[in-house]
Amino acid sequence: MPAPIVEIGLAPHPWRDVVAIADGAAVTLHPAVRERLGLHRRAVEAIAARGERAYGITTGLGALSDVILSREEIVTISTNTVRSHACAMGEPFAPRTVRAIMAGQILNFCHGPSGISPAVVDQIIRLLAEGITPVIPSQGSVGYISHTAHVGLALIGEGFVHDGGAVKPTAEALGAHGIAPLTLGAKEGLSLVNGTPCLAGLACLVLAEAERLADWADLIAAMSFEVLGGQIAAFDAAALAWKRHPGVQHVGARLRAALAGSQIVAANRGRRTQDALSIRSIPQIHGAIRDAIAATEQRVDGELASATDNPLVLLDGGEPRLVSQANPHGETVALALDALAIALAELGGVSERRLDRLVNPLVSGLPAFLVKHSGVNSGFMIAQYVAASIASENKILATPASVDNYVTSALQEDHLSLGTPAALKALRLAGNVQKILAVEYLAAGQAYEFMDGRRPGAGTAQALAHLRAHVPPTETDRFMSPDLAAADGLLARPCPVGL
């Protein structure tokens, strides 16, 4: 089956297109975009030829913005910028993550005002098509610059890349694929390190994780609700309609669909007046997280629709204007990602609370730690400890990055968004939430062993069958890490149960 194609056109592209490219979609340019790139590029070349003071074209960068360059230096600075700025450290990103960053660069450049040449965009697209991804160390960005510089390094044939499952010198990989290294022109080195493409690309991956985990969380929560004898009145559509937030309505409908036809729910109707909040308020908690995801989508789509280079080349009539401004500042997305990280931490936190109720016989009405012969068997006792530990780690990761600040470039850049660190910790946090949900999934699945043969709901029955196709129930204690890893692996894929 051929890979899907994302054609970059004049209209803004949503975050899902970036994820599609990260996942292997091919990229093409609409002719109108290629024309727009050419118009802005010719404007940059005209400004460079006139020799007027223009940041990053005829001047140095950052604190060196008052240093005027000669004609020869105008070309040299582009290459030097990429080399000097490619200084990230730490564990390299996975190729999928790098593809998302490269997709963010393509979308940013194709707006036009960066003034970058079509040849640079074509080179990035060619690398994606050939499966070549620059090796980008993961640490070292205050919101922009260092990570995308490593992409620029690959374009000129330097550094290292992933190619065919191996890490190779870039020159070797380009030669094997018949790709000639680029010679960068005026401003192109600056554009390759500037703007928010890295932050935006990473944010798209965070959204993909959050959306998938929210789908799984609703289903797993419905399982826990069911086996804990939850009172379905809490999900009454008319009552939830009075909570005027779309996420609440959405989650309530999903829970009702998952539990439709449940003999277990029917048998427990009226068993108690109301449940504990971790059970009763699933629509309100999960719904708030859905609304946080929707708010982040709006911010990220807005960033992808933005030209975030500095300076920008504006063609608004008359002579082209080069405008120095601060569009590379990523505050909007940084704030959104910090809020989403808090929301995801809540998703994991309430999952751990439900899990605690599942294993506690004092509130569950189920055998202690979900095993028939407790005492000689510990069952899910320590698995809940694991979830609690990871939930605690998430409290640390939920601390906002955007409220921090440092001074860089000799006082020239004295306020930073820290958006890229916000995105990276959100991705790590999402991975932790997946693990917590995996423990709850296993425990809720185990609880069905004690339901006396009563039929689960339409959606929960499918979720249980999906789990049992990969992990058998626990009869006596066994090595649990493989079971937890298997459940974690299931949650790494899209939720198979449509609600």
- Active site amino acids: 55
Full 3-state SS string of 339-377: HHHHHHHHHHHHHHHHHHHHHCHHHHCCCHHHCCCECCE
- Three-state SS at 312: strand
257 class by beta-carbon count within 10 Å (0-12 exposed, 13-18 middle, 19+ buried): middle
Query: What DSSP string runs through 71-130?
Result: HHHHHHHHHHHHHHH---EEEEPPHHHHHHHHHHHHHHHHTSTT---HHHHHHHHHHHHH
What is the rounded end-to-end Cα distance, in angstroms, of the chain? 28
Residue 305: strand, helix, or coil: coil
Cα angle, residue 313 at apex, residues 312 and 318 outer, rounded to 5°: 140
Quick one: DSSP state of residue 449?
A: G
**Angle made by CA atoms 432, 229, 234, in degrees to the nearest 5:** 80
Residues in contact with 327: Cβ distance below 8 Å, sequence separation at least 6, in sequence order: 195, 306, 307, 308, 309, 310, 312
DSSP class of residue 161? E
Instruction: Give yes or no for a contact between 221 and 290, defined as CB atoms under 8 angstroms apart.
Output: no
Report the alpha-carbon distance of residue 17 to residue 107 in Å, rounded. 10
Alpha carbon distance 406, 363 (integer Å): 49
Compute how many other C-beta atoms are within 10 angstroms of the C-beta atom of residue 50. 11
- Give one word for 491, left, alpha or beta, with left for phi > 0 and alpha for psi -120 to 50: alpha
3-state secondary structure of 29: strand
